Amino acid sequence: MKPAAALFLFAIGMARAEEVPSGAQIQVRLESAIASNKSKAGDSVQAVVISPVVVGSGIVIPAGTKLSGKVKEVQASKSEAPGAGSDASATPAERARLVLEFGDLAGLGAKPIQIPAKLVDIDNARETVDEAGRVLGILGSETLSAQMDKGLEKLGQRSSGLAEFLRAAKGAFVKQADAEIAYEPGTEMTIELTKSVEVKGAAAGKAEIPNAIPQEAELMRLVNALPFQTMAERPPLASDVTNLMFIGSQERVTAAFTKAGWTTAEALSQKSGMETVRAIVENRGYRQAPVSALLLDGRRPDLVFQKQNNTFAKRHHLRIWRRPEAFQGQTVWVAAATHDIAIEFSPENGTFIHKIDSLIDRERAKVTSDLLMTGMVAGLALVERPEVPRESRNATGDALQTDGAMAVLLLGMK
């Protein structure tokens, strides 16, 4: 069994126990709402660290540390004026822009610690972050909705009546994409230190690892006796690898994910399918979006959770199956967690499919870290599985790479 700390702690190279080096990344979660068409330069922004920063064997910045900052620059989007293609005086389209400046870490000493850092990533966002740390919004002309409008404009040159009918149908079915940058509390970001920062000794300490799960030998036997790969329903192909186990009641599992900001998924249906299409065309999120059917021992999952931001193309998600086995008299759940990072149309399947991050251990760590933040994890283990292949592919052809281990989280009996 591997050390449980490997699930959520990471080393940052050789450094003194009280210094966080330049280039170190800090995962944070917004506690403030920000928007390119509502926020103003100078507005306060609050966030919280969601994964501990470790140097050597000591936590230098623990999860839960508060981080304050401000909106440094902000610019709302500008839509291209009608007829811009032929009128040189028309207003050109301009991307929304947002620059955040994070400054002070609180609670690590007698006074806040100033950190020189820049934004490097917005988790599951449709926007991009450039090398200077600026968030750049989308252009309406880049969306699928705008491409449909261009097609209808060309059609109108040949058949104005049909084009007008289809334009009216499109208007009733979908909305124009909102090009503004808008992040709600709970949005997760990565910032990177641009200079090293020294933290006083009071802040550094030994990593606080959750309790070990008792009866280690029994747990190892159980984990290694379970099926480790799911199957797609149609066509029946080997797919995602299971990488998480939860021990506890359904109420505890659901409560933990809800507290961590995850949402459930709607069942696959005509209604949810239509809403999925609208989300893709409008380039927006769909937080209860359905997931494709995967089977474990011939059964569909009992629970599905996901975490999105503002685009259906990207999401964290996992399928969870209740097992007939029990551990210490408690219910056992097995999950396969993957991170959707893009979406594309598959001619073979006749539908849109997600592409996933091949390094699936990162999603295992993400789920573990999120649940640890809730305070509902009573025990933690990382169990090796020698029989799990280190490299494989899922049903849609994405490569899967893993160390083969399963994270086990004891959620208690409450």
Q: Which residue has the higher pLDDT, 189 or 80?
A: 189
Contact 204, 18 (CB under 8 A): yes
pLDDT value, residue 175 = 76
Instruction: For residues 161 and 62, state if they share a domain.
Output: no
Instruction: For residues 265 and 202, state if they share a domain.
Output: no
Contact 280, 311 (CB under 8 A): no
pLDDT value, residue 264 = 96
Instruction: For residues 310 and 398, state if they share a domain.
Output: yes
Burial 178-205 (b: 16+ CB within 10 A, else e): bbebbbeeebbbbbbbeeebebeeebbe
Average pLDDT over residues 339-359: 82
Instruction: For residues 355 and 343, state if they share a domain.
Output: yes
pLDDT value, residue 90 = 43
Instruction: For residues 340 and 390, state if they share a domain.
Output: yes
Instruction: For residues 227 and 374, state if they share a domain.
Output: yes
Instruction: For residues 91 and 161, state if they share a domain.
Output: no
Average pLDDT over residues 314-330: 96
Question: Does the structure show a pLDDT above 80 at 156?
Answer: no
Question: Is there a domain that residue 318 lies in?
Answer: yes
Tokens of 97: 């822009």
Instruction: For residues 238 and 263, state if they share a domain.
Output: yes
Instruction: For residues 64 and 148, state if they share a domain.
Output: no
- Give the helix/strand (H/E) hosting 351: strand 351-356
Tell me the per-residue pLDDT of 23-81, one tens digit each, with 9 for 90 and over: 999 999 999 999 999 999 999 999 999 998 888 767 888 889 999 999 999 999 987 65
Q: Can you give the pTM of this predicted structure? A: 0.85
From CA 139, how far away is CA 143, in angstroms rounded?
7
Instruction: For residues 134 and 27, state if they share a domain.
Output: yes
**Which residue's entry shows tokens 């984990």?**
223
Neighbour tally for 151: CB within 10 Å: 12
Phi, psi angle pair for 151, to nearest 5°: -65, -40
**Concatenated DSSP letters of 295-344:** EBTTB--SEEEEE--S-TT-EEEEEEEEEEEEETTEEEEEEEEEEEEEEE
* Domain span at 347: 216-410
Lowest-confidence range among 109-113, 117-121, 275-279? 109-113
From CA 136, how far away is CA 180, in angstroms rounded?
10
Question: Is there a domain that residue 306 lies in?
Answer: yes
> Which residues, 6 or more positions from 362, have their beta carbon under 8 angstroms from its beta carbon?
339
Question: Does the structure show a pLDDT above 70 at 209?
Answer: no
**Which residue's entry shows tokens 């029946």?**
236
Question: Does the structure show a pLDDT above 60 at 13?
Answer: no
Distances in whole angstroms, Cα of residue 246 to Cα of each of 161, 345, 366: 58, 34, 15
Instruction: For residues 93 and 239, state if they share a domain.
Output: no
pLDDT value, residue 148 = 54
Tokens of 142: 């880049």
Contact 153, 228 (CB under 8 A): no
Q: Total domain count for the chain?
A: 3
